[in-house]
Amino acid sequence: MIETTVIRGKWFLTSDTTKKVHGTLTCDPLKGIQLEIEEPLEGNEETFELELSKADIILGESRDGVPITLYSCFRTGSSWGGSYSATWYVNKAFVGCHELDPSAIYFTEIVLRVRPLFLWLDSSGIRINNSQTPGLSVTFSYTKPDDIDIPIDEKVFGKIRFHSSYSIPSTYSESIKLTHWASISIQTIGDDLTHIELWEYIQRFLNWLTVTTGYPHDIEKVSYFHENLIDRILSDGTKIRQEVILYSKKQRVIKKPERPDQLLFTYPDLKKCMPDVLTHWFSLYQSIEAVIQILSENMGRDIAFSEFHFKDIIQALEAFHRKRVRNEKMPSEDYEAYKNQVICQLNSEEDRSFVEGRLKYGNEPTLKERLGELIERQRNIPSLQSIIGKKKTFIWQVTENRNYLTHLDESGKSGILHSIDLYHLSERALALLFVTVISEVIPEGSIIDNALKTSSRFRNYIK
């Protein structure tokens, strides 16, 4: 949502749809959603003047007849001075429909406008021709780029669309305005999906956008559609679908790119292996969702570094190795036989129980082994090898610091890092996590290598 939206209308509770009160809904993307009403929603709220009042759902109708549903609402107080007023805080608002059960809202499409999608696509459609004589003439043209289809799975498919709006100038216009942007759409193939299920697909794409750009995403607008929910029919018979807009509070984004060359990858970088790359990304997400979430959070991080970021990155590397590489030193059948052989040689039940507990996870690779194998898997990425530096030293530092931050015991450890030194080690480990995950979907190592070389975040670690 680009700007604050203000909607005036009438509001009522599901328990009494005949009592409707006037009020104003303000949807501020940063401050949240507030409903200010001019009359009590309930029959008599005077006794609750200083207490919180909750309502799971408040329904509304805008002045132009658009239905609105507000979810998880609570009131912070009311005033009975010269006239009544109260403010309700709202968690989520659907503008365009009435639905008592938020989990039962089904749609056939979700459309998202988000930054920096347009920069990532690096395809504006604008062509400018300047005259050789300064100030003599300037002409420009706009051709809408082709939409991009994204096969995802048997339930949905994706589509990236380009949009534009413009004003037609008159002879005395002081400016000519052309606005162009892009959106990502997820559409159902067979059965309708709930708004939550459709949002889960969008979340996977948002993480892709953050990981491949190196910047946090900034949601501008979220819209839902259903093929049978029609707003109006034009004179030529064209059906215009009803747009259901989702409003909710979002986090303030501080770190914003201004040019495509500031991003790790752009669509043209990956065009020759598209749309397979995105299809593989959606598939990969199902097996290592937690790993990708940690990677995305750290790639788009615009808050101060803390030791918890380091721990999360190392945990994600461990989890990736466990899920995608191996989690056994030897075949499980052989290890079970070995473990039983050892335990059977012990006489007391106490000793057998103790040793069995110690051997329970003995067949799992150590963190040192996992890190070593992950680094070795990316030996065809010279920039990453340079960022890692001496392999043994890097693995030792990561292991020492992870163990210290887990157990908070410095005894026997000589490589404990703090503050800026731990931050730099964390960034190098993040580069390993980034390459480890992204190489699962981008087949050409040279593309990844070039991204590291040109990255303002990682290139300073390349020796």
The whole-number pLDDT of residue 432 equals: 98
Give the contacts of 258 (CB within 8 A, at least 6 positions apart).
none
The whole-number pLDDT of residue 358 equals: 75
Top pLDDT among 79 and 313 is at: 313
The structure tokens 């959606």 sit at: 282
**pLDDT greater than 70 at residue 79:** no
The whole-number pLDDT of residue 463 equals: 86
**Beta carbons of 346 and 355 less than 8 angstroms apart:** yes
Residue-wise pLDDT for 21-42, tens only, equals 999 999 998 889 999 998 888 7
Residue-wise pLDDT for 324-380, tens only, equals 999 887 777 776 777 777 888 888 888 778 877 777 767 788 999 999 999 999 999
- Tell me the average pLDDT across 423-434: 98
The whole-number pLDDT of residue 331 equals: 78
How does the average pLDDT of the chain come out, rounded?
88
Kindly list the structural domains of the chain, giving each domain's residue range(s) and its CATH number in brackets, ordered by start: 5-102 (2.30.110), 105-217+253-287 (no CATH), 303-327+365-461 (no CATH), 329-364 (no CATH)
Residue-wise pLDDT for 169-216, tens only, equals 777 777 778 888 999 999 999 899 999 999 999 999 999 999 999 999
The whole-number pLDDT of residue 237 equals: 84
**pLDDT greater than 90 at residue 420:** yes
**pLDDT greater than 70 at residue 52:** no
**pLDDT greater than 60 at residue 304:** yes
**pLDDT greater than 70 at residue 1:** no
Give 250-254 contacts, CB < 8 A, sequence gap 24+. 250/1, 250/29, 250/30, 250/218, 250/219, 252/30, 253/115, 253/216, 253/217, 253/218, 253/302, 254/302
156-160, 219-223, 433-437 — which is least confidently predicted? 219-223
The whole-number pLDDT of residue 160 equals: 97
Give 299-304 contacts, CB < 8 A, sequence gap 24+. 299/210, 299/211, 299/214, 299/430, 299/434, 300/210, 300/214, 300/215, 300/216, 300/217, 300/255, 301/216, 302/216, 302/253, 302/254, 302/255
Name the band, by pLDDT with cuts 50, 70 and 90, for residue 47.
very low
DSSP character string of 47-79:
GGTTS-EEEEEEEEEETT--EEEEEEEEEEEEE
The model's pTM is 0.87
The whole-number pLDDT of residue 131 equals: 58
Name the band, by pLDDT with cuts 50, 70 and 90, for residue 157.
very high
Residue-wise pLDDT for 223-272, tens only, equals 999 988 888 888 888 888 889 999 998 777 778 899 999 999 999 999 99
